[in-house]
Chain A
Amino acid sequence: MRRVTGFLVLVLIALLAFAIPSVSAQQEPIRIGVYEPMTGPMAAGGQMTWEGIVLAHEMTPTVLGRPIKLFLADNKSDKVESANAVAKLIEQDKVIAIIGSYGSSNSIAGGDVAEKAGIPMMTDSATNPLVTLDKEYMFRACFIDPFQGEVMAKFAYGEGVRKAAILKDVAQDYSVGLSNYFKKTFIALTGDPKSIVAEVAYQTGDQDFSAQLTQVINSKAEALFVPGYFGDMALVAKQLRQLGSKILLMGGDAIDAPELVTIGGTAAEGIVFSTFYSADAPATPEAKKFVDAFKAKYGKTPNANGALGYDTYNLVVDAIRRANSDDPKKIRDAMASTKDFPAVTGSTTIDESGDATKDAVLLKVVDGKFTYLTTVKP
Chain B
Amino acid sequence: MLGVYNPARARLKLLLTFGGLAVLAAAIWWGNANLSSYNLRILNLAGINAILAVSMNLIFGFTGLFSLGHAGFMAVGAYTCALLTLPVATKDSIFLLAPLAWPFSVITLPPIAAVVCAGATAGLMAYLTGFPVLRLRGDYLGIATLGFAEIIRVVANNIPSITNGALGLKGIPSFASNLWWTWGCVGITVFVISRLVNSVYGRSLLAVREDEVAAEIMGVNRTYHKTVAYVIGSFFAGVGGALMGSLVTTIDPKTFGFTLTFNILIIVVAGGLGSITGSVLTSVIYTVLLEALRPIEASWRIGPLRVPEIPGLRMVVFSLVLLVIILFYQRGLFGGREFSWDRVLDWIDRRRSRKQGVRA
Give yes or no for direct A-B contact (beta carbon below 8 Å).
Answer: yes
- A72 and B297 contacting across the interface, CB-CB below 8 Å: yes
| Chain B residues, CB < 8 A from A5 | 328
In chain A, what residue has the closest Cβ to B305?
A: A22
In chain B, what residue has the closest Cβ to A36?
A: B311
| Chain A residues, CB < 8 A from B249 | 83, 109, 112
In chain A, what residue has the closest Cβ to B94?
A: A130
Least CB distance from A107 to B in Å reads 10
CB contact under 8 A between A16 and B296, given known A79-B251, A112-B170: yes
Interface residues on chain A, size class: 35 or more
Q: 1/0 per residue B63-94: CB within 8 Å of A?
A: 00000000000000000000000000010011
Interface size on B, residues (CB 8 A): 58
Least CB distance from A334 to B in Å reads 25
Q: Which of A169-177, A239-247, A255-263 lies at the interface with chain B?
A: A169-177
| Chain B residues, CB < 8 A from A16 | 296, 317
A180 at the interface (CB under 8 A from B): yes
| Chain A residues, CB < 8 A from B102 | none
A73 at the interface (CB under 8 A from B): yes
CB contact under 8 A between A39 and B295, given known A87-B37, A180-B97: no
Taken together as a complex, chains A and B put the C-alpha atoms of A105 and B165 apart, in Å, by 12
Q: Which residues between 280 and 337 of chain B lie within 8 Å of chain A, taking CB atoms?
A: 291-302, 306, 309, 311-312, 314-315, 317, 320-321, 324-325, 327-329
Q: Which of A88-96, A272-280, A298-306 lies at the interface with chain B?
A: A88-96
Q: Which of B18-26, B38-46, B338-346, B352-360 lies at the interface with chain A?
A: B38-46
| Chain B residues, CB < 8 A from A72 | 297-298, 309, 311
Q: Which of B128-136, B201-209, B216-224, B252-260 lies at the interface with chain A?
A: B252-260
Taken together as a complex, chains A and B put the C-alpha atoms of A341 and B299 apart, in Å, by 32
Q: Which residues between 223 and 262 of chain B lie within 8 Å of chain A, taking CB atoms?
A: 244, 247-255
- B252 and A76 contacting across the interface, CB-CB below 8 Å: no
Least CB distance from A150 to B in Å reads 15
| Interface core residue of B41, B166, B297, B327 (most chain A CB under 10 Å) | B166
CB contact under 8 A between A17 and B168, given known A72-B311, A173-B252: no
- A17 and B296 contacting across the interface, CB-CB below 8 Å: yes
In chain B, what residue has the closest Cβ to A80?
A: B248
Taken together as a complex, chains A and B put the C-alpha atoms of A2 and B326 apart, in Å, by 12
- A175 and B166 contacting across the interface, CB-CB below 8 Å: yes
- B97 and A17 contacting across the interface, CB-CB below 8 Å: no
- B170 and A108 contacting across the interface, CB-CB below 8 Å: yes
- A38 and B300 contacting across the interface, CB-CB below 8 Å: no
- B312 and A109 contacting across the interface, CB-CB below 8 Å: no
- A9 and B312 contacting across the interface, CB-CB below 8 Å: no
- B312 and A2 contacting across the interface, CB-CB below 8 Å: no
| Interface core residue of B157, B158, B297, B329 (most chain A CB under 10 Å) | B157
Least CB distance from B288 to A in Å reads 11
- A171 and B321 contacting across the interface, CB-CB below 8 Å: no
Q: 1/0 per residue B165-176: CB within 8 Å of A?
A: 111101100100
Given contact pairs A36-B311, A72-B311, enumerate 10 new A-B contacts (beta carbons under 8 Å): A13-B320, A22-B298, A38-B312, A74-B315, A83-B41, A134-B90, A173-B166, A173-B252, A203-B157, A204-B254
Interface residues of B (CB under 8 A from A): 36-38, 41-42, 45, 90, 93-94, 96-97, 154, 157-158, 160, 165-168, 170-171, 174, 244, 247-255, 291-302, 306, 309, 311-312, 314-315, 317, 320-321, 324-325, 327-329
